[in-house]
Amino acid sequence: GPIVAAIAAVLGAWACGNTDRPLIDATAEPPVSARTTAQTAASLYLRLPGTDSEWLLARELQGNQWLRVWTRSNGGHLSLRIDGTVHASPAETISVLRELDLIPSWNRFCDSASLLHSKAPTDIWASAGIRLPWPVPPQALLVHATVAKNPHGRGLVALAHSPSPAQPAPGVGLPAALRARIPLTVECAAGRLQCSTEGCSSTRVDVYLNFVLADMGLSTSSAPTWIVNLIVFIVAPVVWKSYLHAVLLIRQNKLPHAERLRIDETGLYERVRRWSGERVPTVEQSSEERLGRASCLRDHQAADAEQPANWAMHKLAALRTRLPRWRSWSRFCNRVKSLARSLM
């Protein structure tokens, strides 16, 4: 769910166009209904294109953290399939996307993002402002997003969609600053984050997106090719590389996301770690850590209590070294008495 709100730049960009190929109704997936869950959506939509001739591999980035993007037009809709690998755990991967207010700090094509309503840690309403390069006009995104445990592996699945007459937003609307923008309607967005290595040090990312072209003021027979080129060759690589850099900085504790991961106010990241099989600190371990800190505090307090005695011993030692310099025993006694009075 948070996946869609967080990759707002990619959503807005790719939603604008694909190819000039004719639209085909027969290949359309079933629409999302009020009963569709994240787990059901993953089973329905997250099937890799494979040999399906209706999908076009539009972009592929090689490397250890690779990315592939397919596009498809059918029945007045534009569909996307995004597949890649991130060198981070599922919890770290989703934190870049879930911390909505921080998205503009790493995604140059998203100028605002906010959490509008949270029914539960795994059920939210979110908005995002999308600003692509000229001449694409600014767009506004409003989605309902949910996440759940991946039923077929370690990780999570997500579902998001924009409100519709059949599924209106219950008392949730776009912020005033975004209402004048062209709405970006996400008919369906399904995502899956799954551990791809032992220890969950890497995550496989699979995303399916489906947009209604007519809702964006575009022709239902074709989409402008120049927009596709803009997205595939400029926007997509920039967003992906910026996302990977943000994940790297989080792992180095150089972004606020790292602190929010540790605090985990909603408990979402703990759930994701459990779903992914990551090691989660137990209550007993946390208690031991608190006992250790308490023991350390007592040691410091004991040392502070002994400080006056240690200081006195140090002064007496200094007196012994200076004793030969004094000319009389009485002078020494007076010095000791003065020292004793200062300690009382």
Distance CA(305)–CA(209), nearest Å, equals 66
Q: Coil, helix or strand for 242?
A: helix
Per residue in 184-207, pLDDT (tens digit) is 888 888 899 988 887 788 999 999
* Contact criterion met (CB below 8 Å) for 197 and 93: no
The neighbouring-strand residues paired with 207 are: 82, 191
Place of tokens 């906010």: 114
Domains of the chain, residue spans = 2-276, 283-343
pLDDT bin (cut points 50, 70, 90) of residue 96 is very high
The pLDDT value recorded for residue 199 is: 76
Per residue in 252-288, pLDDT (tens digit) is 999 999 999 999 999 999 999 999 888 654 444 444 4
For residue 328, pLDDT beyond 80: no
> Around Cβ 189, how many Cβ atoms within 10 Å?
27
Per residue in 27-54, pLDDT (tens digit) is 445 555 555 666 665 655 666 665 456 7
For residue 290, pLDDT beyond 60: no
* Contact criterion met (CB below 8 Å) for 277 and 90: no
Distance CA(41)–CA(4), nearest Å, equals 14
Beta strands in 196-309 (DSSP E): 203-212
Domain 2-276 classification at class level = alpha beta
Model pTM?
0.68
